[in-house]
Structure 1
Amino acid sequence: MAKYKVLVLMHKSLIPPEDFTEEEYLSADWKTEYDVMETLRELGHTVHPLGIVGNLELLRNALDEFKPHIVFNLLEEFDGNPTFDQHIVSYLELKRQAYTGCNPRGLTLARDKALSKKILTFHRIPVPKFFVFPKNQKIKETKKFFYPLIVKTTTEEASTGIAQASVVNNFEALKERVEFIHETYGTDVIAEQYIKGRELYVGIFGNKRVTTLPVWELEFTQMPKGVKKFATEKVKWDDKYREKYGIRSIRAANLSEQETEKLKILTKKAYKALGLSGYARMDFRFDENGKAYVLEANPNPGIQCGDEFPESAEAYGLKYKDLISKLITLGISWNKNRH
């Protein structure tokens, strides 16, 4: 593989320190950034980290001075707003700068859970039925509501704001949770049909030609009775909680070839319908009757060593170094074909 000058773009607070202990690494928030940069260096690339918060001038100067062949995009927000990350990618496109990950149009469509579901529904891709509650509008009861529903912010990621209390069984609980999301996160709210079943993930990468990865599952082995099994914020981020209740991400078992193929076909259809590129992960609920529903599309999913996406890539046959190289190749290819 050619050797490139790679600008690694990240939040300022996530630039790894030069010296640290193994214990500090294991508990650090910057593990993804470290894993990616170290791997790029091992591959022979020249790496320049750039941490930004809300100053676009820093990025412009780095592009002018460092002149990277490609920007490895690990930025998930800009100026504290997670919906601004697509604008950074738009800026890179305007500069005709190659970058890794998804294009800005795909990011915009996928980040909005309500908009993306409308698009997927148009393409006859199964999604949970849903209702949208815009900010600053009165919440009125209607005969159209059914229960249980799961209440989420429309634009926040990483299970932000999702808890056991997110699943509601009547209008009073629905209204209370919608108001909580409005006040706490300042976003519109989506209330989706809660589907009892398995939580499955399918990784995918590519631009025009795409490859799906083995199906992964969020497994709940020791949850108490009465506790619903889905990816809450606590499940996603609290390691002690995961260990206590036997929650782990593993390769999905007990799926027939037909069921696996169905998930992969839906993943490819959703990826295309939303105009995604680079790499992504589709999240599914697989109900007790064997029907798969797309919960959401996640462009630029976590690529820290040990995350679902790299683990499923390794099961496919792509070691971590190969995966990072592939993302670089896809970014270079996307830029060449666009310009």
Structure 2
Amino acid sequence: MSRKLRVVALVDPELVPPDTIVGVSDEDMADWKMEYDVRVTLEDLGHEVVCLGLEHLGQLAEVQRDFRPHIVFNMLEEFHGAATYEPMVVGHLELLRLPYTGCNPQGLLVAHDKALAKHVLRGAGIPTPPSRVFERTSRAAAGSISAKSLNFPLLVKSTVEDASLGIATDSVVHSERELRRRVQRVHDDQCTDALVEEFIEGRELYVGTLGNQRPTALPVWELRFRRLPPGTPNIATADVKWDGDLQKEWGVMTERAKLPAAWERRLQSLARRVHRTLGISGYARMDFRVTASGEPYVLEANPNPNLSYGEDYAESADAAGLDYESLLQRILNLGLSYPAAWKRQLV
């Protein structure tokens, strides 16, 4: 059995889970299910857990002084409403010399900037759809928004938002007019630059990775639709991810992908390369599109994906022989062993 640890479960202030879920409906607990699952499972493993809803950075020094944690289990996806601040919180943990789970600040910065990540991946020879970025400054010159060398259909999304925020079925555009309208929608509604990439017809596949410098790749998972309306693109929109009624109507499901062994090995190899190339540590999920002929394209990398019990990442780990308790303990161990800069200075 692993040694007992003092663990700070670091969460959004609005997602601090209750002590018990007796009488709580699935719908009511959906927002903080991961936080609850992780905290309870860590306690079941014998660890002492304090849940901290982070409102200001000073709380980290306070909990370090009062609780003396061995590690912080980072479940933040944003700070003060901004996903771009998450790497800064993790950087603060490093400055405090506090070990933490999940991805390091540099890996988070690169992976969260989808345009930058694609540039890095292309430089490493990793296949990713051709793309362009339209900065918010182009709002004043709508006529300058043009596909140019890109081939329709195109997918338009924010350069920085996660969890499919802002992605809808009409994010896939088929004309210059639709492109201009959707780019301006991203500029206006999400206040970010817009990433436009060629839409790859094919299957939507996910590969989890687990590790620091030498990551392993989990079995390939697939997003499927039993009743997708005709003409609707098979993409993970915000509604597909979060709207329970639509999930039932369209028969949305995820499961282990049925692939030729050679395809799965190639996807897993690419996922490990993406993990290393972007400097990711801990755990991540790589999103792919794969054509009918088996050509894979990396869409994006997602450090620190959803760890809820029964969700894709945990299910994929279970298929690889890691049950939920073993997965969380492995993530703790990876955080403790990550060679942060302050540890190297102590050698």
| TM-score of the two chains, using structure 1 as the length reference | 0.97
- What is residue 226 of structure 2 aligned with on the other side? 221
Matches within 5 A, 1:36-115: 36-53=38-55, 55-115=56-116
Task: Give the conservation status (yes or no) of the 8 Å contact 1:96–1:335.
Answer: no
Q: Which one of 164, 167, 172 corresponds to residue 167 of structure 1?
A: 172
Task: Give the conservation status (yes or no) of the 8 Å contact 1:97–1:335.
Answer: no
In structure 2, distance between residues paired with 1:228 and 1:101: 32
Structure 1 residue 203 and structure 2 residue 227: aligned?
no
Q: CA RMSD in A?
A: 1.3
- What is residue 312 of structure 1 aligned with on the other side? 316
- What is residue 149 of structure 2 aligned with on the other side? 144
Structure 1 residue 285 and structure 2 residue 296: aligned?
no
Secondary structure of the residue aligned to 1:214 is strand
Task: Give the conservation status (yes or no) of the 8 Å contact 1:32–1:303.
Answer: yes
Change in CA separation of 1:150 and 1:36 when aligned onto 2, cut-off 3 Å: same
In structure 2, distance between residues paired with 1:308 and 1:337: 32
How far apart are residue 145 of structure 1 and its match? 3.8
Letter in 2 for 1:52: L
Task: Give the conservation status (yes or no) of the 8 Å contact 1:202–1:264.
Answer: yes
In structure 2, distance between residues paired with 1:156 and 1:121: 21
Secondary structure of the residue aligned to 1:61 is helix
In structure 2, distance between residues paired with 1:110 and 1:68: 28
How far apart are residue 102 of structure 1 and its match? 0.4
How far apart are residue 18 of structure 1 and its match? 2.7
Change in CA separation of 1:239 and 1:300 when aligned onto 2, cut-off 3 Å: same
In structure 1, distance between residues paired with 2:267 and 2:150: 28
In structure 2, distance between residues paired with 1:122 and 1:284: 18
In structure 2, distance between residues paired with 1:146 and 1:336: 43
In structure 2, distance between residues paired with 1:25 and 1:241: 16
Task: Give the conservation status (yes or no) of the 8 Å contact 2:121–2:277.
Answer: yes
- What is residue 6 of structure 2 aligned with on the other side? 5
Letter in 1 for 2:232: V
Letter in 2 for 1:113: K
Task: Give the conservation status (yes or no) of the 8 Å contact 1:99–1:335.
Answer: no
In structure 2, distance between residues paired with 1:267 and 1:142: 29
How far apart are residue 308 of structure 1 and its match? 0.7
How far apart are residue 312 of structure 1 and its match? 0.2
| TM-score of the two chains, using structure 2 as the length reference | 0.94
Change in CA separation of 1:26 and 1:324 when aligned onto 2, cut-off 3 Å: farther
Secondary structure of the residue aligned to 2:137 is coil
In structure 2, distance between residues paired with 1:11 and 1:258: 41
In structure 1, distance between residues paired with 2:147 and 2:106: 34
Deviations 1:47-101 (A, max 9, x none): 0000023x11122211221110000000111111111000000011111110000
Letter in 2 for 1:303: L
